[in-house]
Every structure is written in C-alpha cells, then in structure tokens.
Structure 1
Amino acid sequence: MNDSLLAMVNSGITLFGLPTTPLEVAGFVLAVITVLLNIYQLHWAWLFAIVSSAVYGLVFYASRLYGDMGLQLVFISVSFWGWYQWLRPGLQHTPALPVTRLSARGWLWALAGWVAGFGALWWFLASYTDTDVPRADAFLTAGSLVGQVLLSRKKLENWHAWIIVDVLYVALYIHKDLHLTAILYAVFVAMAVAGLLAWKKAAPDAPDTMVLK
C-alpha cells in the first residue's frame, strides 16, 4: 500500500463520537467476526484472522505500536498454520482436532514462553524503535503469541491468555487514542469469557499429556 492510499484510509473520522479511521473500523469488524467464528470452532475464522491482522498491522504502524505491528505479521503466519491444524484431521478422514487442556508441563512451557518473549521484545523495542510504551507493547505482544499458539492447537487455556491480554490492551489503546480498538478489546474480553465457557463443554476433564500436541 503506497503512502497516499495509506493516508487516505487512515484519515481521521468520527464514529459515534469517537475519533477513528476507516482502517480501524474495518479491522474492528473483521476481528469481531474472527472471534465469533473461533468460539464456534469454525475454521473460516483463520481467513478473517489473516485479513484482520493485515489491516491492524497498518493501524498499529501509524500509532507507533511496532510490537503489535510485528505481531500481526506473526499472526498471519500462525493463522495459516492454525488453519491447517484445524483442517488436517478432516483431510486425513479422521475426527477433527479436539479441544484439549494443557498439562502441568504445558502450563510451564506457556508461561516460560511468555516471560522469554516479553524480555526479548522489551529489549528490542526499547533499543531499536521509537515506541513510547516498550514494556507494555512487549508484554502484550508476547502474551498474544502464546494465546495464538494455544488457539492453533485448540487448547482451552488460550482463552485464559486472551482474557488477560485483552483487559490490558483496553488500557493501552486508550493511552494511544485508539478508542474504537479499545472498545473492540473490551468486547473481546466478554467474547473470550464466552469462548472459555463454550470450549469447557467440549474439553475433557483430564489434561492432554502431550505439550501443545
């Protein structure tokens, strides 16, 4: 997308009294559709996730949220992988990928990945970008990556990660004057709770003994 076109779709408008841009509105709608499809375990969620991530990558670039911008590129890559993971069992004429729970070892891997990602991203953003929120951006980016990987493997705990991340993102986006996106993430909190309750009905009581597999 060239600079003139990006400037046009990122030009300021007012929607329901909130300052926003056409690009942010498009990302809002696509993201809501994505989460709704995830709750119902419909594989088309990954297609909307790819498009939504591309749109929000441009939104975050304009707001100097470089961690979040880079995260959208990762989301696009992981979404192709997640889409394949959700479809692969069906393509092999076996039952669809089931919802499972993390084992204790899986919890440790997920938490360790979040901490390690936070440290690495904090250092990178503080050292090589002009972001004014390196710690918050790094922490939430790392948490989002953990949530996305867990979602790709249909782990029930992906919703726990998203609830934590989405609550904190509301505050960050208000700080960055992305008010429509802040509302979106407040909606995401409620949707993540709904997703957790819906997936609990499908998940076995015993955790999966294979970490993220």
Structure 2
Amino acid sequence: MIDFLFSQYKSYTSYFIFLELTAVFFGTISVLFAKKNNILVYPTGLVSTLIFVYILFEWKLFGDFIINIYYSIMSVVGWYLWSRKKNGVAEFPISFMNRSDYFISSIIFLGTLLFIALIYHFFDKFTHWTAYVDTLTTALFFVGMWLMAKRKIENWIIWIIADLISVPLYFYKGLTFSSIQFLVFTIIAILGYKEWKKLLQKQI
C-alpha cells in the first residue's frame, strides 16, 4: 500500500519533496483558518500558493500553475477585503450569494474555461484526459476563491466539488501528498460550510 501511494517519490529530489510537504502544510493550515473565518487564511495560504506556483511550473501543469498565480493574487485581495471594517464591524461579513454574485461567478467560470482551454491549445497540451479535468477544476477553483474573498458561504460548496475531483487527479499526476491534501480539504470544506452556516445564523 505504501509503495503504491509513494513509489513515484523515489525519483524525486529531497528538495522537491520538502517543497511539496511545506506547501501542503501551509495549505492545510490556511483552510483550517478559513473554516474558523479567521483572516490568517490569507497569509498562510499565500505561502502555500507561491510554492505551488514554482512546483507546477516545473511540472508544466499549466492549469494548476495559473490557479496558484490567481490564488496568490486573490489572497492579497481577500486579505484586504476581510480586514476592512466600518464602524468596527466587518464590511464583508458572511452572507449568501445574490443575483449579482451568481452572474459574476458564471462569467468567471466560463471565462476561465475558455482561457485555460486556449492556454492548453497554445502549448498543444490537450493530449490527455487530465488536461480537460484540469481545465474544469481550474474554473471551479477560480470561482471558489473569488466567493471566499467576498465571504459568500457558497464558496464551500465549490471547494467540496473541486477538491473531490482533485483527489484522484493529483494522485494520477504523481503528487500523492497533494492528493491527500485535497482529501483533507474536502473534509474541512464540509465542516467549514456547517460552521459558516452557524456563524451566519448568529449574524441574522
């Protein structure tokens, strides 16, 4: 079982393994902070995404590479939005999506699908089924990160769907630690949705 899960790491350098484990650690800590509605979700997440930018560029996984560039940018944006207060109260509290949010989410999703498809086509990387799945998860993650920055409770539903797809995808890609991370993320996302729902009920 151990050999089945981690045999591919025999050919990886210790430096690469250390980087992936560090990124996974900070990514997991970040999601736990998100579950608690704690602004530290962003600085810890930024460490993880910047490391993954390097790893995924080296592996030429362009969809995931672009995801993490976007994550890094949105971590700064989300950090700013979550820190804003009006009369001592958070300017962007937890809330449900409205019509405008659904419209913008749809635009982000479709726009991302088209953009990533063009990137894969340009680099002639539509040669395997993983490229198509990668395009889908990229679009979902783009929407999820935007909704989290806006503190919309539905962000957790997007994360659950995208994380579940990413578990087998990353294992197939040979990134077992990252695959396990997405499994943990799925569980935390389910708990996060429940916790944010309770916090939202207290706000009303």
Q: Aligned-pair distance for 1:102?
A: 0.5
Return the alpha-carbon distance in structure 1 between the equivalents of residues 124 and 94 of structure 2: 39
Q: Aligned-pair distance for 1:111?
A: 3.0
1:71-123 CA distance string (max 9 Å, x none)? 2111111111100100011xx44312310001244224323421231122112
Matched, 1:157 2:160: no
Total equivalences in the alignment:
191
Aligned CA RMSD, in angstroms, stands at 2.3
Q: Check whether the contact 1:101–1:204 (CA below 8 A) recurs between aligned residues.
A: no
**TM-score, normalising length: structure 1:** 0.81
SS at 1:203's partner residue? helix
Matched, 1:107 2:102: yes
Tell me what 1:45 maps to. Answer: 41
The letter of the residue matching 2:192 is G
Q: Mean Cα displacement is larger for which, 56-65 or 102-111? A: 102-111
Q: Check whether the contact 1:64–1:130 (CA below 8 A) recurs between aligned residues.
A: no
SS at 1:155's partner residue? coil
Unaligned runs of 5+ in 1: 1-13, 206-213
Matched, 1:33 2:66: no
Q: Check whether the contact 1:60–1:66 (CA below 8 A) recurs between aligned residues.
A: yes
Return the alpha-carbon distance in structure 2 between the equivalents of residues 114 and 187 of structure 1: 24
**TM-score, normalising length: structure 2:** 0.85
The letter of the residue matching 2:50 is A
> Percent of counterpart pairs with the same letter?
24
Q: Mean Cα displacement is larger for which, 183-192 or 112-121? A: 112-121
Tell me what 2:82 maps to. Answer: 86
Q: Check whether the contact 1:126–1:134 (CA below 8 A) recurs between aligned residues.
A: no
Unaligned runs of 5+ in 2: 10-16
Q: Check whether the contact 1:63–1:176 (CA below 8 A) recurs between aligned residues.
A: no
Return the alpha-carbon distance in structure 2 between the equivalents of residues 76 and 109 of structure 1: 20
Tell me what 1:173 maps to. Answer: 170
